[in-house]
Amino acid sequence: MGFLEIYKTAMAAGREIDCYNNKIIFCERDSFMIGLTDMNVLWRNCILPLYEEGDLDIPHRVENYVAKLLATDDVLSIYGALECIRTYLWLHIYPDFPFEIDFIQYLDIAKRSILRNAEKFQHYKGKEFSSYLGTPYDIVAPMVGLDKIDPYANRPKKKSSKK
């Protein structure tokens, strides 16, 4: 079964959001992330073909799913929403991109979602990010303009040994 058929099956079952929250995985190549949807695959093989087939509501549904995922406290759902936005912004630079979604309005919401779940992102132990040297927080924080956490920020300063 191809990616588009998997997506359509999820739609028919009322599980379309699972294509974005990493419960249904779309991946065609090795990645440094294990068990996460490659949003390039989802956009290229599902979202854009559905739109071209005449599903003109797909942009609205994608935007709605991103908003719902950012409202959760689930690390993989928030990550999926951020990757969906990032991939859209990357693909949207092409002049023949067929539709607009105003994802910029979600960047503050995404930032608040990450901050609200910072501890979960910093201590997430799932296999999905196991090939990444940092924490999931180190991945998502820069996506919304948050600085990487500095482990030395609250450390007491050494007293000068000069006399």
Q: Where are the domains of the chain?
A: 3-144
Q: What is the pLDDT of residue 131?
A: 79
Per-residue confidence (pLDDT) for residue 154, from 0 to 100: 46
pLDDT, tens digit, for every residue of 118-158? 999 999 988 888 878 889 999 999 999 987 554 444 444 55
pLDDT digits (tens, 9 = 90+) for 26-76: 988 765 567 899 999 999 999 999 999 999 999 999 999 999 999 999 999
Q: What is the pLDDT confidence band of residue 163, given thresholds at 50, 70 and 90?
A: low
The model carries a pTM of 0.85
pLDDT of 1 over the 90 cut: no
* Mutual angle of helices 75-91 and 58-70, in 10-degree steps: 140
In our burial notation (b when 16+ CB lie closer than 10 A, e otherwise), range 68-85 reads ebbeeebbbbbbbbbbbb
Could you say which of 3.40.50.1370, 1.10.3720.10, 2.60.40.1180, 1.25.40.520 is the CATH number of the domain covering 3-144? 1.25.40.520
